[in-house]
Structure 1
């Protein structure tokens, strides 16, 4: 086995970031977690950071507002993985990564950068509707900066986080499955792709030293988890031994409802529209600039949708 990379995780206390840290440590990588000196009194984040330290991670101070701190952090590692959230959409938080790109370029030692993506592939969403397209536009800006700087990269397209989609039977605003009713988005037939969050982290760490994923997009498409909303609901009905009362939300009604919501909700719900009304996740083939994770790493036993749903019984 070759020498393990030294890995820096930016955003390591976040929803996906904390799993990336755990997976990196599990694979035996020397793992650094960047944390902001202005953490203040956020006790939960502090305790998480200390738990990482107990597990063998190295904590390193750094901030997007302090260029030198980023350069100093980057110089200590081989691989940088950024998992910052794009939730604060009006502030274009994803674009903060441009500061990280500058630091990586100046440091000159990084052999792989994985920017914060982990969802829908922005290269496939050039025709996305407003205001949801802001997410993809910002990620494309970051991609261009990475490639213009000749920084080696891997982009990870993880599709639908199981916790947010499977738990609620693909219904916006739901994270636990109902025992009684469900609303189909349209006819419920377009295929989507669901990935357990811990599996996302495992596949990501597998890819960082893999020459097959260098300067490519890694698509997480576990074949048994490519399912329509109707199929997800059917699995749940089989588990609970009863049929749910079903209703349908037309595309027109869905978009009308979206227009009446605040900006952040509109962004998220237009993504739902593309996924469940248009089937944008599974309606294209992976080209020569991409690889599929479950094919590259068949040794990873990924969590099936049925297994994920069993935890709610």
Structure 2
């Protein structure tokens, strides 16, 4: 461990992304601290196991809670309600950080590759890869960014010591992680040797699903609409306050979408 490695505090450490952040921080040699709620450890056996795992690897556990920031650029996001109002809270937190002069780095990780869409080859309602047909929102030609969770964590922890990211927004846009839905399906067809019937869902029908569809699917459709139809994961980077992770850290060997798809064969 380098003597001058800074201490890293992971907020939401037992959540989906938090575990990857803790792993990356430890792997890159940082003294690592994890914020957890005492009630979480007492009431959730699975997360209690995660916390015990942290302790066994030398993570310092701190029992407090603060909000976190990941995903789309919430200050420039075109997404439907009620997601917009929920994410507006994050935008207000950003603004307060700036007003109070708190040193910070905001990471816009776009869409988590293995969380939802890549295992379904970009579909919303499917339970896995297509077998005969594949549903596409819109025309399927909108660029979207899908970054592996471990890579998002690595880029984030590397930024913790980097003065180039201070008070900046760091966007994750490795070239091999930028793709359209049609291109993703092309790759999958090449890997499987199959051709799939491509069914396009017009944007108005997508909006109707968001407004009137099953409650448990509306959130996924909102995110898919913002990413795969509106292209909100690949908005222009304003260099006055924005930097791009793969340009800052070309030494990071990230997993491309082409490589990640192999794991679903």
Instruction: Give the TM bin, normalised by the shorter chain.
Output: over 0.9
Distance 1:286 1:53, change over 3 A: same
Equivalenced residue count is 262
The alpha-carbon deviation at position 118 of structure 1 amounts to: 1.9
Q: Which residue of 2 aligns with 1:277?
A: 229
Higher relative contact order (CA 8 A, sep 6+): 2
Describe how 1:1-313 pairs up with structure 2 within 5 A.
3-38=4-39, 39-62=41-64, 64=65, 97=67, 116-125=68-77, 127-163=78-114, 164-174=116-126, 176-261=128-213, 265-313=217-265
Could you list the structure 1 runs, at least 4 aligned residues long, displaced by more than 4 angstroms after superposition: 262-265
The alpha-carbon deviation at position 128 of structure 1 amounts to: 3.5
In 2, are the aligned partners of 1:185 and 1:276 still within 8 Å (CA)? yes
1:121-164, Cα deviation, whole Å (9 max, x unpaired)? 11221x54322212331111111121122110100001111012
* Distance (Å, rounded) in 1 between the aligned partners of 2:194 and 2:216: 36
* Distance (Å, rounded) in 2 between the aligned partners of 1:286 and 1:231: 27
* Distance (Å, rounded) in 1 between the aligned partners of 2:168 and 2:46: 35
TM-score (norm 1): 0.79
The alpha-carbon deviation at position 60 of structure 1 amounts to: 2.5
The alpha-carbon deviation at position 270 of structure 1 amounts to: 2.3
Distance 1:149 1:264, change over 3 A: farther
In 1, are the aligned partners of 2:209 and 2:221 still within 8 Å (CA)? no
In 2, are the aligned partners of 1:169 and 1:232 still within 8 Å (CA)? yes
In 1, are the aligned partners of 2:42 and 2:48 still within 8 Å (CA)? no
Please list every run of 5 or more consecutive structure 2 residues that lacks an aligned counterpart in the other structure: none
